[in-house]
């Protein structure tokens, strides 16, 4: 299934995004650090094999979010892009490696 009870707060969002067919979904930022408050948005990274350009992916993913999802920011990377960022020492790639928490894995 890919969603554990620990991640139940994200279940409605994850269920909505399943039809996008992500490989993995990570939460990062204040929610991953357990520092979120009522004004905090939810920052997600989706890993998906796709040939769409980066900006097109960002537009496309918005169609999958439920209207009542609240403030959710989503970035979509291919497995190769994420791996490349981390390998090259990209600051964002390192941040993701350090703090991102897996909340969905299609293989699980």
- Please check whether residue 108 is in contact with residue 1, taking contact to mean a CB–CB distance below 8 angstroms: yes
CATH number at residue 39: 3.30.460.10
pLDDT at 70: 75
Total of domains in the chain: 1
* Sign for the pseudo-dihedral over CA of 51, 52, 54, 58: negative
pTM: 0.88
pLDDT class of 2 with cuts at 50, 70, 90: very low
Asked whether the predicted pLDDT for residue 4 surpasses 60, the reply is no
**Comparison of pLDDT for 51 and 65, the residue scoring more:** 51
pLDDT at 39: 87
C-alpha torsion angle, residues 94, 38, 103, 24 (rounded to 10): -60
pLDDT class of 7 with cuts at 50, 70, 90: low
Domain hosting residue 86, numbered range? 5-105
């Amino acid at each position: 299934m890919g969603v554990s009870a620990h991640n139940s707060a994200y279940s409605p969002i994850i269920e909505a995004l399943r039809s996008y067919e992500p490989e993995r979904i990570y939460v990062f930022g204040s929610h991953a650090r357990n520092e979120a408050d009522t004004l905090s948005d939810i920052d997600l990274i989706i890993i998906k094999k796709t040939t769409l350009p980066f900006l097109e992916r960002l537009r496309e993913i918005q169609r999958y979010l439920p209207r009542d999802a609240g403030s959710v920011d989503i970035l979509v990377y291919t497995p190769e892009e994420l791996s490349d960022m981390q390998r090259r020492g990209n600051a964002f790639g390192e941040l993701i490696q350090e703090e991102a928490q897996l909340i969905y894995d299609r293989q699980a």
